[in-house]
């Protein structure tokens, strides 16, 4: 189990993760994006609990989801579920602009502080309902969702740019299936199953 940033990077390379994504992991210290008492396990390949009953996913899963979203240096990315901002920072290293929406104000504030300390200037964190996305900043070339939905939110389909990719966990009978969708000819269709996993639910506004 990795105990350092370099150990985590070696793990990702062994798993065949794209080198651009690996380099982003080399430039973003995960220890700066977890609660202080979680510092000793910051580089372990495991989820880490954060406030409000949420989690930040294990690094190898984040790497695969970011890789599948295929952000480009000039592209605009929507992230749903900011958490403490670790994936946000990675996306910001790989894309031109990142807009991240977070349900909980306390997490959004923590993420903003973490991103500011890390010198990330091309990511904006907004408090709101992830099911609705951020229509005022559409279209997005890539969308990465960090919570499991019962179905793909229509608003996110609409906000995805032509040719764009969306990576989203969708609830299944036994697990949450991390699916990759693409938009072609104005239609969003399933491209592939990335992996089964477990995520916190993507809660609609007005629901507990």
Give the catalytic positions in this structure.
57
Q: Which of 94, 183, 88, 76 is nearest to 134 (CA)?
A: 76
Q: How far apart are CA 38 and CA 186, in angstroms?
A: 43
Question: What tokens appear for 46 in the block?
Answer: 């495991």
The sign of the CA dihedral 41, 43, 45, 48 is positive
Q: Which of 64, 65, 75, 21 is nearest to 166 (CA)?
A: 65
Phi, psi of 191 (to 5 degrees): -95, -45
Check if the beta carbon of residue 83 is closer than 8 Å to that of residue 149.
no
């Amino acid at each position: 189990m990795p105990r350092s940033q370099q150990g985590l990077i070696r793990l990702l390379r062994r798993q065949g993760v794209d080198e651009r994504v690996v380099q982003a992991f080399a430039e973003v210290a995960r220890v700066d994006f977890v609660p202080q008492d979680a510092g000793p396990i910051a580089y372990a390949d495991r989820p880490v609990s954060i406030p409000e009953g949420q989690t930040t996913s294990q690094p190898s899963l984040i790497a695969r989801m970011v890789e599948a979203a295929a952000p480009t240096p000039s592209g605009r990315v929507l992230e749903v579920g900011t958490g403490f901002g670790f994936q946000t920072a990675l996306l910001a290293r790989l894309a031109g602009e990142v807009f991240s929406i977070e349900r909980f104000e306390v997490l959004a504030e923590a993420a903003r502080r973490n991103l500011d300390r890390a010198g990330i200037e091309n990511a904006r964190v907004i408090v709101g309902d992830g099911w609705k996305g951020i229509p005022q900043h559409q279209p997005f070339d890539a969308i990465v969702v960090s919570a499991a939905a019962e179905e793909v939110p229509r608003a996110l389909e609409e906000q995805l740019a032509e040719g764009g990719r969306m990576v989203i966990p969708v609830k299944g009978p036994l697990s949450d299936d991390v699916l990759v969708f693409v938009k072609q000819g104005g239609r969003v269709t399933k491209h592939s199953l990335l992996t089964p996993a477990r995520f916190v639910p993507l809660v609609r506004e007005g629901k507990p």
